Amino acid sequence: MNRIRRSAVLLGLVAAVIVGSSIPAAATFTEAVSTNTATLRAATVAAPASITVSRTCTQNVTGGYWNSFGQWVPTYTTYYNATVTWPASTTARGVTGYRVTAYLPGSAPIVMGQTGATDRSLSASVEASYLDYQPTISVTTLTSYGWSTESARKAVPTC
């Protein structure tokens, strides 16, 4: 007898779940709200209009070796010293800073650095051998409300 009751209760619960989940929910909410549409406008974030890369290339003695004649032969490493500059974003409010990113083909983007809202340049130094990969650079405008826009990429001039 217990078995029959359990089966009947189980069948009733299964039927209730199937029927209950197939009934659509219905709710209505009505409230009239007025607002001044003049204050509503689309927000946009402007990337810097242009990027300038100025550079110097320097060679430093980084080691050396003694050749077969007993002479010291220095070895050099060439360094690429770049300064990236850009104009301020034309975004009306909320600009908190800028992020400078380098792109090497076939590699993940490399963040060179991040600046504050009033800074318009960033300097970095790398081995000149990275120029063999033909890197490009972009500057992204960052805002306090989480929106950002990246500039067009600029090719990096060689030594």
24 in the same domain as 66: no
Domain count, the chain: 2
Range name among 11-20, 40-49, 116-125, 140-149 with the lowest pLDDT average: 11-20
115 in the same domain as 58: yes
Phi, psi of 46 (to 5 degrees): -100, 130
Using 50, 70 and 90 to split pLDDT, how confident is the model at 159?
Answer: confident
Range of the domain at 88: 52-155
Whole-angstrom CA distances from 120 to 18, 22, 82, 85, 117 are 63, 60, 14, 6, 8
94 in the same domain as 122: yes
Q: Is residue 46 part of a domain?
A: no
pTM score:
0.67
97 in the same domain as 23: no
Q: Is residue 92 part of a domain?
A: yes
* SS3 assignment, position 18: helix
Dihedral through CA 40, CA 43, CA 49, CA 51, nearest 10? 160
131 in the same domain as 69: yes
Tens of pLDDT, residue by residue over 62-101, are 899 999 999 999 999 999 999 999 999 999 889 999 999 9
Q: How many residues does the chain have?
A: 159
130 in the same domain as 74: yes
114 has pLDDT over 90: yes
